Structure 1
Amino acid sequence: MTPSTTTSTWPRLPVLPDAATDAVVASGLLAELAHAFGGPFHFLLPDAFDVNLQAMQDVLASAGVNGVVYFAKKANKAAVFAERAAAGGAGVDVASAGELREALGHGVRGEHLVVTGPAKAPALLRLAVQHGALIAIDAIDELDAVITLPPAGQGHPARVLLRALPSVQPDSRFGMAAAELVTAMDRCATAGDAIRMEGFSFHLSGYALQPRADLAARLIDLCRMARARGLQAGRISIGGGLPISYTDADSWHTFLTQHHARHYHTGKKFPPADFYPYHSAPSGPAALAALLQTRPHTTGATLADIIRDAGVQLLLEPGRALLDRAGATVFTIQGVKDRGGYRLLTVDGTSLSLSEQWFNSEYLPDPQIIPQDHAAPAGVFPASVGGATCLESDMLTWRKIAFPHLPRAGDLLLYPNTAGYQMDSNESPFHDLPLPPKVVIDRTDHPRPRWRLDRHFT
């Protein structure tokens, strides 16, 4: 079992430096947690969430834009992030009664919730109205259902946004076409005190800034139309879609140029278009700043100028961008097979805890091996990583990773920066395997980081 002689044979995708994760690894805590839980686990770094949130709020303030950040709760189920959103002056975006109750239970006020998603269940609509949450109305029949609901205490009206179908994505299943929006505005105007129509929203797939700015400008025009009908219409929601960078530009472009089916177990092929853009410029809060300086095609002014001049409030619902570097996932290697030229590792969990694999794609950032034997041979040891189930498709990493140490049973594998969607959006107790617990790291600046279980651990 000799190592390969060069790393150039094996495309790599190193992650950007992350001092907080490095401090957790250096502390030796991960091996103890792996022993204690007897299976994979996630660790969360909520301080990173705080930093990302503050940076977005600073961008809004610097641009002179009246805006509110809502954390898209679907991106991670952990209670700690809802708690940090509430403490940091942010709202939370929810799409189910369960998410709504969780947010309320962890300190988020009802009026600081926005309820999204298509064809919302009656129970969810009732809860949203009772707690004064803002509801993104996706269809005429949903608006009719809200209008006929009993009013909240003290006669407070239901608060709604009307979701517009993006003209650049006319086949989207989200939102209302132009004629439907006119009908919806008319019904809001005749509903009287039952409805407070606060503005418009959209759901837009992808990460391009120009179409998002163009759609935001369209929503502002819709606000003017609604105001002419006597509606309040003072807010627009542009959803999420702020990309983050997992790696640097050179590494990403080199990877896209070099990777080939031969670099994957069984010659697996992934369409490059299905990969997440693991490097984006700009990204995170800088992407928000760039969006605000983008000039919609209908005007020569920047989006920030248009928002200020119209006197509207900007709502945004980032998920991944608030969770950048806010956690990682750890597995233990259970077995190693030599496949001739590379190894096949089996870990103590499944790819259901690394969700990208279930979207016809691959989570590309290189996992980090943490040898438990300090005498582990060094070199270049290519290996793919499989899960503990009886499914051929249960692969955490089809790609042959160029590990710098010989992988052995008992070693740990750390998948970096997994808090945004990777940890739990597709988790399942398949084979009666327990769901990986979430460990909150409250402090990383001590020799022994302080940790606790997130409240969602059962």
Structure 2
Amino acid sequence: MPRQGQGTLLTGVRPFPLTALRHPTVTTLLDDHWALLADLMDGLGSPLHVVLPEVFEENVTGLRQAFADAGAEVDILFAKKANKADCYVSSGAALGVGIDAASSSELVKALAGGVPGHRIGISGPEKDDTLHALAVQHDCLVAIDSIDELRRLAAAARLARRQVRVLLRSRTGSQPASRFGMAAAERDAAVGLCVELADHVGFRGFSFHLGGYSPEDRAVAANEMIEHCLDARRRGARSADVVDIGGGLPMRYVDSRLWDEFLRQNDVAHYHPAKAAKGFYFYPYGGNSTTEAARKIMSHPVDGDESLSAKAARNGIRFLVEPGRSLLDQAGFTVYRVQQVEDRRDSDGYAIVTVAGNSLSLSEPWFNTDYLPDPLLISARPADDEMFPACVAGATCLESDMVTWRKIGFPRPVKPGDHLVYLNTAGYHMDFLESRFHDNPLPLKAVLRLGAGEAPPRWRLDGI
């Protein structure tokens, strides 16, 4: 029973459970091989990122099948920015997956990981001359954001006596004020310039940037790009046969019904210290799965009853897709060691659990938000009848350093030396905002693969 003075419980605002979905490989590692994970934590430090390339490979296969089932010809470029681990690049290379790179460093890592240049797409606004030169040298496909960038890239190709393959990034009808891409007049002028510079510019089609995760909006934008390709062909750019639909494929962290109930019950009192939760812009943690979204995009009717994939096939258009987070679904998790517990239940109704590490090593990159799925408490003690409400803080001197602002209802009191496991963190959460604040080293990544039969899992440090 709750003790008198536990304010959170006495006010009737109990921590809402958001149980994370869990891949069978993750369950096997946590249930059958925790001793190995604990040893890795002892040797490699807290927090520790565990990365699982075999799950990434499974996601690639599933996404390819979803597009094939929808009748679409699609090439996958893994968005490297979603995780810096090298293992995903090499896994993708073995499966024939390309890379979406937005910097010279990402391009070099893709090449070093075994991805050939013709499978690498270069994105990002107004790329610098070094990236242009590398892209030309390695036959990468470059998405162009402006007339000025197109001229600079053509000059780099002329200097190298090569032809560079390009896409023109166009603004969409639904987001005409985007800072990415060209408006209609500039886009039309760029098509004409591509025809004029055909000796050094191999124009292939169009791409776009679209905020949000709506499959329908992405299908509508892709259809606009198909129409741009057809118009470009009429103007002499007969090689326009590619539409890059970008990323924005959602993934599901928690059960959809649980997510809907969370949104109905969400309240500022669930957060430390009464953080303005209703103002949060949450990722859709319980929305469409990646494969569902892929099928919805390609089956969306665009001209009467014709689907997007059917229209593309009829006109000889193939698609590129640049998933990042969604290809990393369940492909990694993060473990923190509990450093100290400040029990404020008598005064505030909940405790503050401080972990070894900080929130920059487990961040939801959406601004003014929180990483919502509940962490798992790994403890040598059995479950208690008493729920233990607590938030999770990082071990820095910043008031804002909260790994979990939301109050979690742990099944037993949390103690120093326990471990908190945050599931499904490979997509953006591990290293998007990482920092050497307080002169601390960056967390390490341990690459794990399950062994065959009774063999123990194999592990190595990423990059070695």
TM, length-normalised to structure 1: 0.95
What is the aligned partner in structure 1 of residue 309 from structure 2?
304
Q: Distance in 2 between matches of 1:443 and 1:104?
A: 27
Q: How far 1:311 sits from its partner (Å)?
A: 0.5
User: Which moves more between the two structures, 97-106 or 38-47?
Assistant: 38-47
What is the aligned partner in structure 2 of residue 166 from structure 1?
172
Q: How far 1:376 sits from its partner (Å)?
A: 6.8
Q: Distance in 1 between matches of 2:164 and 2:357?
A: 44
Q: How far 1:447 sits from its partner (Å)?
A: 6.1
Q: Distance in 2 between matches of 1:65 and 1:358?
A: 31
**For 2:181, what is the secondary structure of its paired residue?**
coil
- What amino acid maps onto 2:220 in structure 1? D
Q: Distance in 2 between matches of 1:255 and 1:62?
A: 33
Q: How far 1:378 sits from its partner (Å)?
A: 5.3
**For 2:403, what is the secondary structure of its paired residue?**
strand
- What amino acid maps onto 1:311 in structure 2? G
Q: Distance in 2 between matches of 1:357 and 1:344?
A: 23
Query: Cα deviations across residues 349-407 of structure 1 (Å, max 9, x unaligned)?
Result: 11101121762100000000101x33574531111000011000000001110011210
Q: Decide whether aligned partners of structure 1 residues 186 and 272 sit closer, same or farther in structure 2, where only a CA change above 3 A counts.
A: same
| Structure 2 residue corresponding to 1:208, chosen from 194, 207, 214 | 214
What is the aligned partner in structure 1 of residue 363 from structure 2?
355
Structure 1 position 62 matched with structure 2 position 59 = no
8 Å Cα contact 2:329/2:427 also seen in 1 = yes
Q: How far 1:273 sits from its partner (Å)?
A: 5.7
**For 2:309, what is the secondary structure of its paired residue?**
helix
* Mapping 1:339-418, distance limit 5 Å: 339-340=344-345, 341-356=349-364, 359-371=367-379, 373-374=380-381, 377=384, 379-418=386-425
- What amino acid maps onto 2:299 in structure 1? Q
8 Å Cα contact 1:163/1:200 also seen in 2 = yes
What is the aligned partner in structure 1 of residue 17 from structure 2?
12
What is the aligned partner in structure 2 of residue 140 from structure 1?
147
User: Which moves more between the two structures, 315-324 or 257-266?
Assistant: 257-266
**For 2:46, what is the secondary structure of its paired residue?**
coil
What is the aligned partner in structure 1 of residue 260 from structure 2?
253
What is the aligned partner in structure 1 of residue 133 from structure 2?
126
**For 1:211, what is the secondary structure of its paired residue?**
helix
* Mapping 1:40-439, distance limit 5 Å: 40-151=47-158, 155-231=161-237, 232-271=239-278, 274-281=281-288, 283-296=289-302, 298-340=303-345, 341-356=349-364, 359-371=367-379, 373-374=380-381, 377=384, 379-439=386-446
Q: Distance in 2 between matches of 1:8 and 1:273?
A: 19
Q: Decide whether aligned partners of structure 1 residues 364 and 9 sit closer, same or farther in structure 2, where only a CA change above 3 A counts.
A: same
Q: Distance in 1 between matches of 2:365 and 2:128?
A: 29
8 Å Cα contact 1:333/1:410 also seen in 2 = yes
**For 1:192, what is the secondary structure of its paired residue?**
coil
RMSD of the alignment, in Å? 2.0
- What amino acid maps onto 2:378 in structure 1? I
Q: Distance in 2 between matches of 1:375 and 1:315?
A: 50
Q: How far 1:449 sits from its partner (Å)?
A: 1.7
TM, length-normalised to structure 2: 0.93
Q: Decide whether aligned partners of structure 1 residues 444 and 174 sit closer, same or farther in structure 2, where only a CA change above 3 A counts.
A: farther
Q: Number of matched residues?
A: 452
Unaligned runs of 5+ in 1: none
Q: How far 1:215 sits from its partner (Å)?
A: 1.1
Q: Distance in 1 between matches of 2:78 and 2:439?
A: 31
**For 1:363, what is the secondary structure of its paired residue?**
coil
Q: Distance in 2 between matches of 1:207 and 1:145?
A: 33
Query: Cα deviations across residues 130-182 of structure 1 (Å, max 9, x unaligned)?
Result: 100000001111001011114486x4311100000122112211000010111
**For 1:271, what is the secondary structure of its paired residue?**
helix
Q: How far 1:426 sits from its partner (Å)?
A: 0.6
**For 1:77, what is the secondary structure of its paired residue?**
coil
User: Which moves more between the two structures, 357-366 or 83-92?
Assistant: 357-366
Identity of counterpart residues, as a percentage? 44
Structure 1 position 22 matched with structure 2 position 13 = no
**For 2:273, what is the secondary structure of its paired residue?**
helix
User: Which moves more between the two structures, 271-280 or 27-36?
Assistant: 271-280
